[in-house]
Amino acid sequence: MRAFRRRHFLLMLGAGGALGLAAAGSFRPWRLSLFRRGLHAVTRSGWALGSDVSITALHDVRAAAESAVSAAFAELEQVEQAMSLYRPASDLCRLNRQAVLDAPHPYLVDVVEKARAVSQQSDGAFDVTIQPLWDLYAEAQRSGRLPDAASIEATRRKVDWRRIEVSRSRIRLQGDGTAVTLNGIAQGYAADRVMDALRRHGIEHALVNTGEIGTFGCKETGEPWSVGIQHPRNPDAYIALARLNGRCLATSGDYATSFSADHRDNHVFDPRSGRSPDTLASASVAAPTAWEADALSTALFVLGAERGLQLLRATPGADALLVFKDGRTLATDGFPLCNS
């Protein structure tokens, strides 16, 4: 499976300026001057789960920050081994090949259980078994076309989150052709695991980008970490600036990977139709955990504004910024816009 282009976040790391774009192919590490608190910042970048990743940790002892970042990347490696679609030997790839996986990694069990819960809450709008649809569209794109209606319908019938049986000892995929992608939740889950590792090593202030954004603590100025959300129609601009204040942020957008020039056909599929939703250009969610933000942003994109916001209200501490295809925007009252 080829990598798809992750959405962009503009990370506002310093006291008042943007230090770099953090997204696929665009993050560059920067040094920070942290005079006010005497903190040292260690930033390291890498690649995981189909995306560029970066981790910035602040600590008054540089060696401690470096050790914590190393531990965080070791944790990220565990997530990658469990649920990457880009490593043939990962647990997820072996599950898709064999339809059954004994002794799965606990992280894979955890994330599949979380995904099933969101699927149930969203009436199936969030569904990790949409991988066959991705494969169908990607194969058609290689031939310079879109799949026909009959192929889409035949493939859609392979999609059903209830086909996954999961326990601590085994994960099984029922039905012919069932396959799983965790790209709608794994990046957020990875951010949560990385933040946990940093906290265990004494870090109180950090900014994590694993394709989704996780934050805790604050910048050296005492202000919350700020993140610019990419404009869905202008790759060189952002639609809004979010001041996260300890929350996490994820965005699902029709621009991340498109199968048609007008973004009508893209990597987010509605399991009920086998096609991409036609209302929203992007859905950004701020939530207490990155995995919740990640999964909810996908579910909202599929459900649309009315039904999606009903789902959002059932998650404490979650807020959303929606961008419609006609350019209109809608933000819930609690979404942390910097100008609000």
Say if 301 falls within a structural domain: no
For residue 165, give the CATH number of its domain: 1.10.3980.10
**In which element (H, E) is residue 190 found?**
helix 186-200
Residue type, 211: G
Give every CB contact of residue 270 below 8 A, 6+ residues apart in sequence.
125, 276, 277, 302
Q: What pLDDT does residue 333 have?
A: 97
Say if 146 falls within a structural domain: yes
Residue type, 23: A
Q: What pLDDT does residue 26 have?
A: 30
Say if 136 falls within a structural domain: yes
Query: Strands 164-166 and 205-209, how do they pair?
Result: unpaired
Per residue, the 3-state secondary structure of 74-85, as one string, reads: HHHHHHHHHHCC
How is residue 69 annotated by DSSP?
Answer: H
As a whole number, the mean pLDDT across the chain is 89
Q: 1 near 86, Cβ under 8 Å?
A: yes
Say if 124 falls within a structural domain: yes
Between CA 101 and CA 169 the distance in angstroms is 8
How is residue 306 annotated by DSSP?
Answer: H
> 91-98 vs 106-121: helix axis angle to the nearest 10?
70
Query: In which residue are the tokens 């076309």 written?
Result: 145
Say if 216 falls within a structural domain: no
Closest CA to 337 of 315, 311, 312, 319: 319
CB atoms within 10 A of CB 176: 8
Q: 92 near 86, Cβ under 8 Å?
A: no
Stated pTM of the model: 0.90
Q: What pLDDT does residue 29 have?
A: 32
Phi, psi of 277 (to 5 degrees): -60, 150
Give every CB contact of residue 165 below 8 A, 6+ residues apart in sequence.
171, 172, 173, 174
pLDDT tens for 166-196 read 999 999 999 999 999 999 999 999 999 999 9
Between CA 172 and CA 174 the distance in angstroms is 6
Phi, psi of 182 (to 5 degrees): -110, 20
pLDDT tens for 209-267 read 999 999 999 987 788 999 999 999 998 899 999 999 999 999 999 998 888 888 899 89
Q: What pLDDT does residue 261 have?
A: 86
Phi, psi of 250 (to 5 degrees): -140, 150
Query: Strands 319-324 and 329-331, how do they pair?
Result: antiparallel
Say if 162 falls within a structural domain: yes
Q: 240 near 337, Cβ under 8 Å?
A: yes
Say if 227 falls within a structural domain: no
Per residue, the 3-state secondary structure of 210-255, as one string, reads: CCCEEEECCCCCCCCCEEEEEECCEEEEEEEEEECCCCEEEEEECC
Between CA 109 and CA 180 the distance in angstroms is 13
Q: What pLDDT does residue 257 have?
A: 84
In this predicted structure, the answer to whether residue 273 has a pLDDT above a threshold of 70 is: yes
Q: Where are the alpha helices (DSSP H) in 32-170?
A: 62-83, 91-98, 106-121, 131-142, 149-156
Q: Mean pLDDT, to the nearest integer, of 46-60?
A: 94
Buried b (16+ CB within 10 A) or exposed e, 265-276: bbbbbbbeebbb
Q: What pLDDT does residue 10 have?
A: 56
Domain membership of residue 99 as a residue range: 91-173
Between CA 325 and CA 247 the distance in angstroms is 26
Q: 321 near 329, Cβ under 8 Å?
A: yes
Number of domains in the chain: 1
pLDDT tens for 93-141 read 999 999 999 999 999 999 999 999 999 999 999 999 999 999 999 999 9
pLDDT bucket at 37, cuts 50 / 70 / 90? low
Say if 145 falls within a structural domain: yes
